Amino acid sequence: MSDLVVSCEGITRVYADDAVPVHALRGVDFEVRRGEWTSLAGPSGSGKSTLLHVIGGLDRPTNGEVNVDGQRLGGLSESQLSDLRLNKIGFVFQAYNLIPVLTAVENVEFIMQLQGVGAAERQTRARATLTRLGLDDIGDRRPGELSGGQQQRVAVARAVVTEPVLLLADEPSANLDSSTTQDLLELLRNVNEQHGVTIVTATHDPMVMDYAQRRVRLRDGAIEHDESSSGA
């Protein structure tokens, strides 16, 4: 098994929809090692979210090559990309994006349902994940009955329940206060350290950056600074 979970070579992403082409990424070379928590930082428009989307197969680069867990994304069809996201990548979004008509435990179960896991096993694993993340008391509540922090923690549970090789989180703390952010980051650290899940976050939030072992600063679509630390 390769030590690299993510490998990007010469990634460019140009949005040519408007009259003036927008260069969101300009030849980015970027790697993430297994078990690493990397934080992509930078001002708005720096390209951090675009890079995250390209790594997650949600967006295709204009040029360059992306590999996730040894799979070259450029050669995959839309349905193969869906399959890769379903089985290897967990997503945490800024707006939580839980399914409003499902309870917390059903939201966590849902992704396993897509994988074709049987109902009994789904429920057992979903409950176990919520318990592990300290969320067992809110399993039967719907998103509308949960606070923002609780919703984001359920979103993390949904993202990790399938034991993905990579967790991508785009501005996960943007809608949370500092105390809730701290709880969320502790949860992510637990997922990263105890369960060995590789994490890449895109954030403005210094707290998130502090928790990450590695901080990659982008500016104008290029990597400006790449720095490792032992974390907060």
Partner 1 sequence: MAWRNLWRVRRRTWLTVAGVAFAIFFVVFANSTQRGTFALMIDNATGILSGHVQAQHPAYQDDPRPRNTVADAAALRAAIMEQPGVRAATLRGMAFALVSAGSEGRERTFGAQIIGMDPITEFASIRRPATGRFIAGPGEAFIGAGLARNLNANAGDELVVLGTAKEGGVAAVAVTLAGTFESGMAELDRATLALHFEDFAEAFGLGGEAHAVAILADDSADAEAVAQRLATTLDGGAAPVRFASWETLQPELVQFVELKAWGSYLISALLIVLVTFSVMNAFVMAVFERTAEFGMLKAIGMTPGAIRRMLQIEALWMSVLGVAVGVGISAAVIGALSTVGFSLGEEYSEMLERFNLPDRLYPAFDYATAFGMAALMVVAVQLAALLPARRLRKLNVVEALREQE
Positions that interact with partner 1 (CB under 8 A): 53, 56, 58-59, 78-79, 82-87, 91, 93-95, 97, 99-102, 110-111, 114, 158, 170-171, 174
Beta bridge partners of 222: 219
Residues in the chain: 232
* Burial of 1: CB neighbours in 10 Å, binned 0-12, 13-18, 19+: exposed
- Cβ atoms of 40 and 216 within 8 Å: the answer is yes
Instruction: Please say whether the beta carbons of 83 and 104 come within 8 A.
Output: no
Q: Name which of 41 and 167 has its Cβ closer to partner 1.
A: 167
Residue 137's closest CA among 92, 108, 104?
A: 104
Chain centroid to CA 58: 12
Give CA–CA dist 114/110, Å, rounded: 6
The DSSP annotation for 109-121 comes to: HHHHHHHT--HHH
Given a contact cutoff of 8 angstroms between Cβ atoms, the answer to whether 204 and 171 are in contact is yes
Helix axes 104-115, 78-88, angle to 10 degrees: 130
Q: CB burial class (10 A; 0-12, 13-18, 19+) of residue 125?
A: middle
